[in-house]
């Protein structure tokens, strides 16, 4: 069974991103970039399926300009077999990413597509579900457990109030939540090996997709600042402040 | 212009998140209908009809929708949406599951997690874990939107008398089925709508120690939340996680206990009205966003706090 994993290049999760002074965009100059944490979990899950003898091939795909090849190489170092970059100049919106992924799905016919539940830059939480609709595949989003069972996959999902398990007919889509697995670190030999693995580049045209624009970012601003508060000396002062100053308890 | 609001519910009761979504919908200035999709969800429809300012309530009540399977629900919503200019749903785990499918079926973008409506096509939404707020303009004729419920005060639950109509289309994609559910029962208020939330982090050390929060939560009628570190360590279940990738809360009072204040955690609680932090490290970043900081060992501070409130 072939598994396709979608990996996105995003700002490292430790970076506190700021808006540019003119409000045109966020300032990503000299900022550390990384593979989206949820995508790293997606790669790990696919590689584990391969190690368990369930998956035969793991393909990592990323959509972006040439720089996203770095994240594809990371996925290859973590154990993916080959990579695909879909070359687009500017950051594509989730619907466009989903259409491009659908193009790759049509070419590769994977039985399972694993994506992150959310990219930590745009915080969209859309792409996997959109791909599901476009490819007419069932989805198990926010997955904390994935079990292949013949021509079905059972996905345990993190929902309001607990966990839900659904059974999906393959081919299917899974989006990862944080507790699905703990990703490994790439070893140096594997990083070296990854450099030699196959990486194909497609354009949107190759996939028959027209890149469209649905949303325009008008401006970005910092969130409202919270006034720095005070330190209280002890529990008595805390209770007094909450009762008499903030008036949030009685 | 007309707006369709998707109801959040559990087949028996209408969830408060729906009322916040109606409030956001009102700002679009169009007529509002509510769609209830579920199985044996008649009571929800009755409750939705009582929401003021709603024209009509459409109910798609069928076994195919009982467990909110995204493959089925999205097709139904996309079909009903053809008659509307806007489709709004709360950004709950359930609606986040099917709404992007609806958008893709309609070939439009989705605007996720809006916190303000600037005009009928321009919205504000937090990105980068809330480190910046983006203003975005939609070019799509039909707008598919999820609403961050904490950013809009809910409309009242009572006072309206909308008509109720049933929608008979049944979409069963036949691709997925429900297997089982493990839902934690709790007598406490819901995390996302509670007016007081007390959360524990890695500093709690284990699940057993979360009991130290119970007494305080009882006295304040608070919901209990957690940081991801506490959830990852298995102290508490995942649905208690507050943050960028967990639940977003904005109560009148948020008490963070043994939580350092990583940006991903702040993303889920920094819009709370009053924030209290209890942490033994006086340099913990959580103190930068708290109104009242108590530098103390939580194992001493919590019992004392419980006895004094
Ligand atoms: C993609 C991604 C998404 C994430 N999403 C979320 C999210 O949604 N929500 C979230 O919370 N995190 C999230 N995180 C994790 C986040 O980065 C932090 O790791 C996490 O919030 C830390 O939790 P913590 O504050 O409980 O633990 P720590 O950072 O370990 O802090 C523990 C605190 O407890 C204090 N303490 C210890 N003992 C005591 C004591 N006896 N008395 C008083 N204080 C004590 C310490 O001084 C310390 O400040 C995410 C991370 C990633 C990569
Ligand atoms: N440009 C991209 N390239 C590859 N995968 C992507 C891209 N954008 C989004 N994805 C995938 O979709 C998931 C959810 O992203 P989003 O819908 O943007 O929150 C990510 O975790 C990735 O797996």
- Nearest residue (CA) to ligand 2, atom 21: A116
Beta strands in A76-126 (DSSP E): 82-87, 112-116
Contact flag B184-A162 (C-beta cutoff 8 Å): yes
Strands of the sheet with B292-295, listed across from one edge: A230-232, B292-295, B274-279, B253-257, B196-200, B223-226
Quote the ipTM score.
0.95
| CA angle A105–B93–A14, rounded 5-degree value | 80
Residue B24 CB contacts under 8 Å (≥ 6 apart), including other chains = B88, B114, B117, B145, B147, B151, B152
Q: What are the tens digits of pLDDT across the range B64-94?
A: 999 999 999 999 999 999 999 999 999 999 9
Alpha helices in A18-93, H assignment, sequence order: 37-51, 69-77
Cβ-in-10-Å burial (0-12, 13-18, 19+) of A93 comes to buried
Find chain B residues with C-beta within 8 A of A228's C-beta: 288
Judged by DSSP in three states, A91 sits in coil
Q: Ligand 1 centre from B290 Cα, in Å?
A: 15
Asked if A63 contacts A50 with a C-beta cutoff of 8 angstroms, the reply is no
Q: Which residue is closest to A214 within chain B, CA to CA?
A: B139
Contact B30, B54 (CB under 8 A): no
From chain A residues 219-238, the ones with a CB under 8 A of any chain B CB are 219-223, 226-232, 234-236, 238
Calculate how close chain B gets to A199, using CA atoms only, in Å.
Answer: 29
Binding site membership of A174 for ligand 2 (Cβ less than 6 Å)? no
Separation of CA A189 and ligand 2 centre (Å): 28
Could you tell me where the beta strands, DSSP code E, fall in chain A?
2-6, 9-11, 33-35, 57-64, 82-87, 112-116, 139-149, 152-159, 162-169, 172-176, 199-203, 215-221, 230-232
pLDDT for the residue A225? 85
The answer to whether A176 contacts chain B (CB < 8 Å) is no
The Cβ-side half-sphere exposure at B52, using a 13 Å CA radius, reads 7
Query: A34 by DSSP, 3-state: which?
Result: strand
Q: What is the pLDDT of residue B282?
A: 97
B53: left (phi over 0), alpha (psi -120 to 50) or beta: left
Q: Give the residues across from B145 on adjacent strands.
A: B88, B111
Share of chain B above pLDDT 70, in %: 100
Q: Does A145 touch chain B (CB under 8 A)?
A: no
DSSP 3-state of B85: coil
Express each pLDDT in B168-210 by its tens digit.
Answer: 999 999 999 999 999 877 889 989 889 999 999 999 999 999 9
**Counting every residue, how long is chain B?**
309
User: Cα separation of A139 and A162, whole Å?
Assistant: 18
Q: Which two three-digit tokens encode residue B205?
A: 């050390």
B40: left (phi over 0), alpha (psi -120 to 50) or beta: left
Q: Give me the residues of chain A with pLDDT under 70, please.
A: none
**Each residue's pLDDT tens digit, B115-134:** 999 999 999 999 999 999 99
């Amino acid at each position: 069974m072939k598994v396709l994993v979608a990996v996105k290049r995003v700002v490292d999760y430790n970076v506190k991103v700021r808006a540019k002074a003119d409000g045109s965009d966020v300032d990503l100059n000299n900022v550390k970039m990384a593979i989206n944490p949820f995508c790293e979990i997606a790669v790990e899950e696919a590689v584990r399926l391969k190690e368990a003898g369930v998956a035969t091939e793991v393909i990592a795909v990323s959509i972006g300009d040439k720089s996203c090849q770095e994240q594809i190489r990371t996925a290859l170092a973590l154990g993916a077999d080959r990579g695909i970059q879909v070359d687009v100049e500017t950051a594509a919106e989730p619907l466009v990413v989903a259409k491009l992924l659908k193009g790759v799905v049509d070419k590769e016919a994977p039985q399972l597509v694993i994506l992150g539940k959310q990219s930590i830059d745009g915080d969209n939480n859309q792409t996997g579900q959109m791909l599901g609709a476009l490819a007419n595949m069932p989805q198990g989003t926010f997955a904390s457990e994935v079990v292949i069972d013949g021509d079905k996959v059972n996905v345990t999902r993190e929902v309001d109030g607990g966990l839900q398990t659904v059974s999906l007919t393959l081919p299917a889509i899974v989006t990862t939540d944080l507790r699905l697995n703990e990703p490994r670190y790439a070893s140096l030999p594997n990083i070296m090996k990854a450099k030699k693995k196959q990486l194909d580049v497609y354009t949107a045209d190759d996939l028959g997709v027209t890149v469209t624009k649905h949303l325009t970012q008008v401006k970005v601003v910092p969130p409202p600042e919270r006034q720095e508060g005070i330190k209280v000396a002890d529990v008595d002062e805390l209770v007094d402040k909450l009762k008499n100053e903030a008036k949030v308890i009685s | 212009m007309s707006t369709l609001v998707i109801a959040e519910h559990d087949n028996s009761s209408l969830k408060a998140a729906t009322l916040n979504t109606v409030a956001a919908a009102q700002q679009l200035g169009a007529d509002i209908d509510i769609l209830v999709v579920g199985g044996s969800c008649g009571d929800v429809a009755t409750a939705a009809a009582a929401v003021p300012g709603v024209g009509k309530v459409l109910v798609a009540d069928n076994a195919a929708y009982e467990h909110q399977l995204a493959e089925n629900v999205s097709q139904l919503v996309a079909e009903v949406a053809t008659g509307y200019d806007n489709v709004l749903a709360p950004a709950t785990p359930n609606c986040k599951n099917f709404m992007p499918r609806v958008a893709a079926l309609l070939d439009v973008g989705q605007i996720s997690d809006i916190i303000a409506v600037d005009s009928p096509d321009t919205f504000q939404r937090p990105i980068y874990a809330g480190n910046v707020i983006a203003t975005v303009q939609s070019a799509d004729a039909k707008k598919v939107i999820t609403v961050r419920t904490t950013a809009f005060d809910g409309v009242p639950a009572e006072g309206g008398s909308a008509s109720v109509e049933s929608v008979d289309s049944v979409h069963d994609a036949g691709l997925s089925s429900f297997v089982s559910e493990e839902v934690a029962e709790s007598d406490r208020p819901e995390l996302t709508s509670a007016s007081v939330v007390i959360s524990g982090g890695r500093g709690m050390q284990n699940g057993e120690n979360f009991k130290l929060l119970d007494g305080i939560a009882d006295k304040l009628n608070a919901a209990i939340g957690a940081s991801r570190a506490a959830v990852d360590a298995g102290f508490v279940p995942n649905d208690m996680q507050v943050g960028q990738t967990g639940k977003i809360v904005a109560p009148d009072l948020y008490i963070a206990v043994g939580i350092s204040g990583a940006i991903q955690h702040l993303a889920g609680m920094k819009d709370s009205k009053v924030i209290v932090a209890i942490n033994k490290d006086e340099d913990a970043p959580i103190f930068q966003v708290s109104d009242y900081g108590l530098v103390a060992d939580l194992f001493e501070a919590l019992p004392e706090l419980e006895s004094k409130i």
